[in-house]
Structure 1
Amino acid sequence: MLFYVIAIIVIVIDQVSKLLIRAHIEINETFTLWGIQLTHIENSGMAGGLLPGYARLFGVLAVVFVLGVLYIRRTGEMQGVLIDSSFGFLVGGGIGNGIDRLLFGHVTDFIVRTGGILNLADHSIEIGGVLLILYVIVSWLKKKPLDSHDKHIEK
């Protein structure tokens, strides 16, 4: 359930934020809100504007990614709050940007950061990636055999 709640919240907040930006801010207009610099751009490529003009292809890849995550979840091999949260953020962000790419042929970006201009879906994907790395590390630590020093202490 956590997976679906996070994914839906991310999609809704992402799409509402993009709708507000498109409705009220001109392209290339810059302003500051709560100390955060915002600039409205439309990105027809991938992160950082790489491969411009391939937005719909990346939209299809987002659909494939989401189907892959749903398949992995269905197998039940990866379980727990950490992986459910990770997948929720990844899928929510993927769907958020996928909607833009498939419907509009570009993604609305507006949050100015070192290294580029992003949106809430992009930040969600970053959070999901960090949580996935944490899940992998925690899983590895749980499976790691005790070394001889730890075995000696347990006796």
Structure 2
Amino acid sequence: MLFYSIIVVITAIDQLSKYWIRSVMTVGESMPFYKDFISFTYYQNSGAAGSSLQGWAPILGVLAALIVAGIWWYRKKGGFPGTLKQSAAALLVGGAIGNGIERLLFGKVTDFIVINSGNGIMNLADIAINLGVVLYVVDMLVSQRGRWKGNRKNPQIN
């Protein structure tokens, strides 16, 4: 149930935030959000991260749908055991759905979050995808940590 709850929450918050930005701002308009650290600038991206692959939104939308289907299939086959991996996969799916909806409906994605440390412009779906990747890596490191500790206690001599 956690898996589906995360997907619904991420997708809903992402879509609502993008709708709000499109409703209150014009493309290129900026407004401060949190001190000098975060601001909102309305940008429409018809490509991928870093404005690469401009004009490829429909193809990227189909790719997002395939990734979502692949994650769902893998999960059904028993992949992603454990809460951390389930959460990571759900964040990836929620983010892919959020951006995929816009790519397939509008041919572009609404980006608006600017972190003034030079990380470009993004949206909540992008943040969810990045967080999903981080959680997956953390889960891999935690599970490896147990193996590393086990190997120190029982070192094999070759």
Q: Please give the TM-score of this superposition, normalised by the length of structure 2.
A: 0.90
Query: Residues 1-155 of structure 1: matches in 2 within 5 Å?
Result: 1-35=1-35, 36-113=38-115, 114-143=118-147, 146-147=150-151, 149-151=152-154
Report the alpha carbon displacement of residue 101 of structure 1 after superposing the two structures with TM.
0.2
> Distance in 2 between the 1:12 and 1:48 partners?
24
Match for 2:74: what amino acid?
Answer: I
Cα distance in structure 2, aligned partners of 1:112 and 1:145: 41
Q: CA deviation at 1:138?
A: 2.3
CA offset at residue 143 of structure 1? 4.5
Q: Which runs of 5+ in 2 are unaligned?
A: none
Give the conservation status (yes or no) of the 8 Å contact 2:80–2:89.
Answer: no
CA contact (8 A) 2:92 2:133 kept: yes
**Aligned alpha-carbon RMSD (Å):** 1.6
| Whole-angstrom CA distance in 2 between matches of 1:74 and 1:42 | 35
- How many residues were matched structurally? 151
Q: CA shift at 1:38, angstroms?
A: 0.7
SS at match of 2:150: coil
What runs of 5+ residues in structure 1 fail to find an aligned partner? none
Alpha-carbon separation, structure 2, partners of 1:69 and 1:138: 22
1:146 shift after superposition: 2.3
1:145 deviates by 7.4
SS of match in other structure, 2:28 = coil
Deviation for aligned residue 1:144: 5.0
Offset of 1:33 from its aligned partner? 2.1
Give runs of ≥4 in structure 1 deviating > 4 Å. Answer: none
